[in-house]
Protein backbone atom coordinates (compact mmCIF):
# COMPACT_ATOMS: atom_id res chain seq x y z
CA UNK A 1 0.00 0.00 0.00
CA UNK A 2 1.07 3.52 -0.73
CA UNK A 3 1.96 5.75 2.21
CA UNK A 4 1.59 9.07 0.34
CA UNK A 5 -1.35 9.39 -2.03
CA UNK A 6 -2.27 12.36 -4.21
CA UNK A 7 -5.87 12.74 -5.38
CA UNK A 8 -6.46 15.43 -8.01
CA UNK A 9 -10.17 16.14 -8.43
CA UNK A 10 -12.20 18.24 -10.81
CA UNK A 11 -14.64 20.47 -8.95
CA UNK A 12 -16.76 20.66 -12.11
CA UNK A 13 -17.30 16.87 -12.09
CA UNK A 14 -18.27 16.05 -8.51
CA UNK A 15 -19.75 12.64 -9.33
CA UNK A 16 -16.47 11.31 -10.69
CA UNK A 17 -14.45 13.22 -8.09
CA UNK A 18 -16.30 11.56 -5.22
CA UNK A 19 -15.68 8.14 -6.79
CA UNK A 20 -11.98 8.95 -7.14
CA UNK A 21 -11.73 10.11 -3.53
CA UNK A 22 -13.57 6.99 -2.30
CA UNK A 23 -11.18 4.77 -4.26
CA UNK A 24 -8.18 6.56 -2.76
CA UNK A 25 -9.60 6.24 0.76
CA UNK A 26 -9.85 2.47 0.29
CA UNK A 27 -6.13 2.33 -0.44
CA UNK A 28 -4.79 4.15 2.61
CA UNK A 29 -4.45 3.43 6.31
CA UNK A 30 -5.21 5.96 9.04
CA UNK A 31 -1.57 7.09 9.38
CA UNK A 32 -0.94 7.53 5.67
CA UNK A 33 -0.69 10.94 3.98
CA UNK A 34 -3.64 11.76 1.73
CA UNK A 35 -3.50 14.98 -0.27
CA UNK A 36 -6.52 16.09 -2.26
CA UNK A 37 -5.91 18.80 -4.84
CA UNK A 38 -7.69 20.77 -7.51
CA UNK A 39 -6.39 23.00 -10.26
CA UNK A 40 -7.91 26.23 -11.51
CA UNK A 41 -6.93 26.47 -15.18
CA UNK A 42 -5.03 29.56 -16.26
CA UNK A 43 -7.14 32.07 -18.12
CA UNK A 44 -6.62 35.40 -19.74
CA UNK A 45 -8.27 37.69 -17.24
CA UNK A 46 -11.17 39.71 -18.46
CA UNK A 47 -10.92 38.65 -22.10
CA UNK A 48 -14.26 38.89 -23.83
CA UNK A 49 -15.31 38.47 -27.44
CA UNK A 50 -15.47 42.22 -28.21
CA UNK A 51 -11.77 42.56 -27.49
CA UNK A 52 -10.83 39.19 -28.99
CA UNK A 53 -12.31 39.96 -32.40
CA UNK A 54 -10.23 43.14 -32.57
CA UNK A 55 -7.11 41.20 -31.64
CA UNK A 56 -6.76 42.86 -28.24
CA UNK A 57 -5.99 40.77 -25.18
CA UNK A 58 -6.30 43.42 -22.50
CA UNK A 59 -9.85 42.48 -21.62
CA UNK A 60 -12.67 44.49 -20.19
CA UNK A 61 -12.36 43.72 -16.49
CA UNK A 62 -9.89 42.14 -14.15
CA UNK A 63 -10.49 38.87 -12.35
CA UNK A 64 -8.62 38.19 -9.16
CA UNK A 65 -7.18 34.76 -9.93
CA UNK A 66 -5.99 34.30 -6.35
CA UNK A 67 -9.56 34.86 -5.16
CA UNK A 68 -10.76 32.20 -7.59
CA UNK A 69 -8.10 29.78 -6.29
CA UNK A 70 -9.13 30.58 -2.70
CA UNK A 71 -12.78 29.86 -3.57
CA UNK A 72 -11.75 26.56 -5.16
CA UNK A 73 -9.80 25.65 -2.01
CA UNK A 74 -12.80 26.47 0.18
CA UNK A 75 -15.02 24.24 -1.97
CA UNK A 76 -12.39 21.49 -1.92
CA UNK A 77 -12.25 21.68 1.89
CA UNK A 78 -16.05 21.27 2.04
CA UNK A 79 -15.91 18.17 -0.16
CA UNK A 80 -13.10 16.63 1.87
CA UNK A 81 -14.94 17.35 5.15
CA UNK A 82 -18.04 15.60 3.75
CA UNK A 83 -16.30 12.62 2.14
CA UNK A 84 -13.33 11.73 4.36
CA UNK A 85 -14.43 9.59 7.33
CA UNK A 86 -13.34 10.17 10.91
CA UNK A 87 -9.96 8.65 11.62
CA UNK A 88 -8.51 9.59 8.25
CA UNK A 89 -7.01 12.97 7.52
CA UNK A 90 -6.54 14.74 4.24
CA UNK A 91 -4.50 17.78 3.32
CA UNK A 92 -5.92 20.03 0.57
CA UNK A 93 -4.15 22.05 -2.10
CA UNK A 94 -5.51 24.34 -4.80
CA UNK A 95 -3.24 25.52 -7.58
CA UNK A 96 -3.68 27.39 -10.83
CA UNK A 97 -2.10 26.58 -14.13
CA UNK A 98 -2.09 23.70 -16.56
CA UNK A 99 -3.82 20.78 -14.87
CA UNK A 100 -1.41 17.97 -15.68
CA UNK A 101 1.66 20.12 -14.97
CA UNK A 102 0.35 21.13 -11.56
CA UNK A 103 -0.56 17.54 -10.66
CA UNK A 104 2.91 16.33 -11.63
CA UNK A 105 4.57 19.23 -9.76
CA UNK A 106 2.66 18.52 -6.55
CA UNK A 107 3.37 14.80 -6.86
CA UNK A 108 7.07 15.55 -7.11
CA UNK A 109 7.06 18.15 -4.32
CA UNK A 110 5.30 15.76 -1.92
CA UNK A 111 7.23 12.71 -3.15
CA UNK A 112 4.00 10.70 -3.40
CA UNK A 113 3.89 6.95 -3.91
CA UNK A 114 0.66 6.97 -5.87
CA UNK A 115 -1.70 9.28 -7.74
CA UNK A 116 -5.39 8.35 -7.89
CA UNK A 117 -7.03 10.33 -10.68
CA UNK A 118 -10.34 10.28 -12.52
CA UNK A 119 -11.01 10.05 -16.23
CA UNK A 120 -14.14 10.65 -18.24
CA UNK A 121 -15.14 8.57 -21.23
CA UNK A 122 -12.88 9.67 -24.08
CA UNK A 123 -14.25 11.57 -27.03
CA UNK A 124 -12.64 12.27 -30.38
CA UNK A 125 -10.95 15.44 -29.12
CA UNK A 126 -9.28 13.44 -26.34
CA UNK A 127 -7.62 11.18 -28.89
CA UNK A 128 -6.33 14.16 -30.83
CA UNK A 129 -5.25 16.41 -27.94
CA UNK A 130 -4.53 14.01 -25.09
CA UNK A 131 -6.45 14.52 -21.84
CA UNK A 132 -4.84 15.58 -18.59
CA UNK A 133 -5.19 12.10 -17.12
CA UNK A 134 -3.27 10.52 -20.00
CA UNK A 135 -0.47 13.04 -19.59
CA UNK A 136 -0.28 12.38 -15.85
CA UNK A 137 -0.12 8.63 -16.50
CA UNK A 138 2.62 9.06 -19.12
CA UNK A 139 4.83 11.41 -17.12
CA UNK A 140 4.34 10.50 -13.45
CA UNK A 141 7.31 8.98 -11.65
CA UNK A 142 5.04 7.03 -9.30
CA UNK A 143 2.15 4.60 -9.69
CA UNK A 144 -1.08 6.03 -11.08
CA UNK A 145 -4.56 4.56 -10.61
CA UNK A 146 -7.20 5.78 -13.01
CA UNK A 147 -10.83 5.70 -11.91
CA UNK A 148 -13.17 5.77 -14.87
CA UNK A 149 -16.12 8.16 -14.71
CA UNK A 150 -19.50 7.70 -16.33
Q: Where are the domains of the chain?
A: 4-148
CA distance 113 to 93: 17
pLDDT per residue as tens digits for the range 28-73: 887 789 999 999 987 655 555 454 444 555 544 556 778 889 999 9
Stated pTM of the model: 0.81
**For residue 61, with 0-12 CB atoms within 10 Å meaning exposed, 13-18 middle and 19 or more buried, which class applies?**
exposed
pLDDT per residue as tens digits for the range 76-89: 999 999 999 988 88
Residue 90 predicted with pLDDT over 70: yes
For 4-148, CATH number? 3.40.50.620
Closest to 107 (Cα-Cα) out of 121, 88, 99: 99
Amino acid sequence: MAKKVLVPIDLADLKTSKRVLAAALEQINSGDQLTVMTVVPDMITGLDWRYAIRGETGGSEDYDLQEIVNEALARLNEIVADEVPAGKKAKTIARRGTVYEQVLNVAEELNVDQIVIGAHRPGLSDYLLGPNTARVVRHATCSVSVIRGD
